Chain A
Amino acid sequence: MLSPNFGSYAVAPSATAQARTKRRWQRLKMGVPAGELVFDGFTAATALITLSLVVAIVVVLAISAWPALVRFRAGFLVGTEWDPVNEQFGALPFIYGTAVSSLLALLVAAPFGIGVALCLSELAPDWLSNILGFLVELLAAIPSVVYGLWGIFVLGPFLRDAVEPALARYLGFLPLFQGPRVGVSMLSAGAILAVMVVPFISAVCRDVFAAVPDNLREAAFALGATRWEMVRLAVLPYSLSGIVGAIILGLGRALGETIAVAMVIGNRSVISASLFMPSTTLASAIANEFTEATSDIYVAALIELGLVLILVSLLINVTARLMIYKLTAQRFTR
């Protein structure tokens, strides 16, 4: 009774598959329909153009920076003197400022962003989570020049008058928290960047947490886990690579942020151990000095700053990808 039925069922799909192959073959012989060609061509073209754009930007930057590249060579990356009048260009203060301000931002924004995302995805009821999520993501929609203004008039003075004295008082033995307090500083830049980066980290983390299978959450609860223990057991380990990805995305944003940083960092190309001192970054230097660059070598040096910025970003992205790949390969071996 059962077997003939079973048999015909087993044959049926392969018969239709054969028919399908045959139809496809016939269609090929008749020629590919125009729609297919247009679709293939269009998607391939957009992909190629985007890719070549990246390459083209790097190449053009390299060509424009060529005079500076051959004149200063490695000295450009390690030199600390930035003196356009005497045509001395060392980019280390800019690289240093970019790295430190971005790291500072991540140090604050990563725990905040993850915390916000955890609250939205694991704690808050749906309606509240939607409203809060919208508000947090609204932070990303504020133009960066507005952030800069807010940094100058609100955040800078607040840091100078409230945060920095406290830091100097309790942690003043560290060189990080010594020196005069003027309001424009590395700390201001780090703080403003942190605010700007939080929505990026929290938005990505929220998606990452949403991808955690519910049966892991249930398994943790059923073992008698509290909410925090459930997060620690089920949510965080599963999302680790995604969280790293979110932080890297935030880092990319912090590295390239220009105008808000230029408005609050003080733009002084000196490496100082103190976070209270003004500093500068690659991006803010380019924006600030481009109009003043009168000599060809000055322009070339500024463009080389841009080249360095692109390469640093690229390097960080590649490292992050490798890190995520390694983490996932290690922890999810089959």
Chain B
Amino acid sequence: MAKIRLVRMSAYFGRTRALREINLDIPEFNVTAVIGPSGCGKSTLVRCINRMHETVKDARVEGDVLLDGENIYGPGVDPVQIRRRVGMVFQKPAPFPTMSIQDNVAVGLNLNGLALNRGERAEIVERSLRRAALWNEVKDDLGKPGTSLSGGQQQRLCIARALAVEPEVLLMDEPCSALDPISTAHIEELVLELKSQYTIVIVTHNMQQAARVSDFTAFLLGGVLIEFGDTKQIFTNPERQETEDYITGRFG
């Protein structure tokens, strides 16, 4: 069943329309990849799902985005609440530089206003770091600054930070583009593990990655959704000529 449903959703930067009337159903407990050439609106699309798009100056969204059937752009919906349900990991890992590893993981808990004692906090930190496959590497250095980790570790720290608040959906905006191949493999394994508990949407410019990790793939071109379907089918037998041209490397 569709966890997220985009209904004739358009996104604008000022007068420029970055996305045009997207209709898309994102299934629950699956990985959905969003692919397409640079500037096609991949990042904008996922940023519309947690209302991050509107934090950019002059940016706005038209149409509906339904999360569990409820329009997140409806009147009276608090974007802050939406973002707590829909976590996000960015292209460049950005741990808070003045915070330790454990504080970075726990930072979202404080935002939710949960009164946790030290034991509960430590437990959530450990669980989140384990889920992000980082626990074994950092368990003895939890007090060290988050920025002391390597790039790949920092990205997993950011994933742990996003998971700590128990979101329902995890959006990943090119999470591996700043990482080396080994760290990339770590993150990809992680995505496959996480999909049993979370609905994941991953933006990637790496088609092999989309093929490896995703169950469904959406292909965007020039702000238009060209094709959406089962990943295997998209990569072996696409319906549209543009999709075939893109995945065979004829452009992009």
Residues of chain A at the chain B interface (Cβ within 8 Å)? 125-126, 213, 215-226, 229, 233-234, 237-238, 240, 331-334
A218-B90, A222-B90 known; A334 and B147 CB under 8 Å?
Answer: yes
Contact between B97 and A126, CB atoms less than 8 A apart: no
- Which residues of chain B come closer than 8 Å to A226, judged between CB atoms? 80
By the criterion CB–CB under 8 Å, are A224 and B96 in contact? no
State whether B145 touches A333 (Cβ < 8 A): yes
Having A216-B96, A223-B84, one finds 11 other A-B pairs with CB under 8 Å, namely A215-B92, A218-B94, A222-B52, A222-B87, A222-B88, A222-B162, A223-B162, A237-B99, A238-B97, A240-B98, A331-B97
Known contacts A213-B94, A218-B52, A219-B90; A225/B111 CB under 8 A: yes
Q: Is B42 an interface position by the 8 A CB rule?
A: no
Contact A221 B83 (CB under 8 A): yes
Contact partners of B147 in chain A: CB under 8 A: 332, 334
**B: number of interface residues (CB 8 Å):** 28
Q: List 22 A-B contacts (CB under 8 A).
A: A215-B92, A215-B94, A219-B96, A222-B52, A223-B83, A223-B84, A223-B107, A223-B108, A223-B161, A223-B162, A223-B165, A224-B84, A225-B80, A229-B111, A237-B97, A238-B98, A240-B98, A331-B145, A332-B97, A332-B98, A332-B145, A333-B145
- Kindly state the separation between the CA atoms of A240 and B98 in the bound complex, as whole angstroms: 10
Is B112 among interface residues, defined by CB-CB distance under 8 A?
yes
Residues of B near A229 (CB, < 8 A) are: 111
> Which residues of B have CB within 8 Å of A237?
96-99
Inter-chain contact B81/A216, CB cutoff 8 Å: no
A222→B50 contact, CB < 8 A:
yes
Contacts of B111 in A (CB 8 A): 223-225, 229, 233
Tell me the complex Cα distance, A79–B81, Å: 63
Known: A233-B96, A238-B98. A215 touches B80 (CB 8 A): no
Q: Is B55 an interface residue (CB 8 A)?
A: yes
B90 touches A215 (CB 8 A): yes
Q: Is the CB of B112 within 8 A of A224?
A: yes
A-chain residues with CB within 8 Å of residue B80 when the two chains form the complex: 224-226
Assembled-state Cα–Cα distance A216/B93 (Å):
9
Contacts of B57 in A (CB 8 A): 125-126
What is the CA–CA distance of A126 and B58 in the complex, to the nearest angstrom? 11
Measured between beta carbons, the chain A residues less than 8 angstroms from B162 are 222-223
The yes or no answer to B148 lying at the interface (CB within 8 A) is yes
Give the one of A126, A216, A224, A331 with max B CB within 10 A. Answer: A224
The one of A216, A240, A333 that contacts B94, using a Cβ cutoff of 8 Å: A216
CB B174 to nearest CB in A, in angstroms, measures 13
Which one of B94, B145, B148 contacts A219 once the chains associate, using CB atoms below 8 Å? B94
A2–B52 alpha-carbon span in the complex (Å): 42
Contact of B22 with A by CB under 8 A: no
User: Which of B55, B87, B94 is the most central at the interface, judged by chain A CB atoms within 10 Å of its CB?
Assistant: B94
**Which of B52, B96, B147 is most buried by chain A, counting CB atoms within 10 A of its CB?**
B96
Interface string of B22-55 (1 = CB under 8 A from A): 0000000000000000000000000000101001
Selected contact of A224 from candidates B90, B108, B145, B148, CB within 8 Å: B108
Chain A residues closer than 8 Å to B96, beta-carbon distance: 216, 219-220, 233-234, 237
Q: Does B158 contact A (CB under 8 A)?
A: yes
Residues on the B chain within 8 Å of A334, using CB: 147-148
Residues of A within 8 A of B55 (CB): 217-218, 221
Q: Which residues of A contact B97 (CB under 8 A)?
A: 216, 237-238, 331-332
Q: How far is the CB of A65 from chain B (nearest CB, A)?
A: 45
Q: How many whole Å from B37's CB to the nearest CB in chain A?
A: 23
**Are A221 and B52 in contact, with the CB atoms below 8 A?**
yes
Closest to A221 in B: B55
- Measured between beta carbons, the chain B residues less than 8 angstroms from A222 are 50, 52, 83, 87-88, 90, 162
Tell me the bound Cα distance from A186 to B249 in angstroms.
76
**Minimum CB distance partner of B81 in chain A:** A224
Residue with the greatest number of chain B CB neighbours at <10 A, chosen from A223, A225, A233: A223
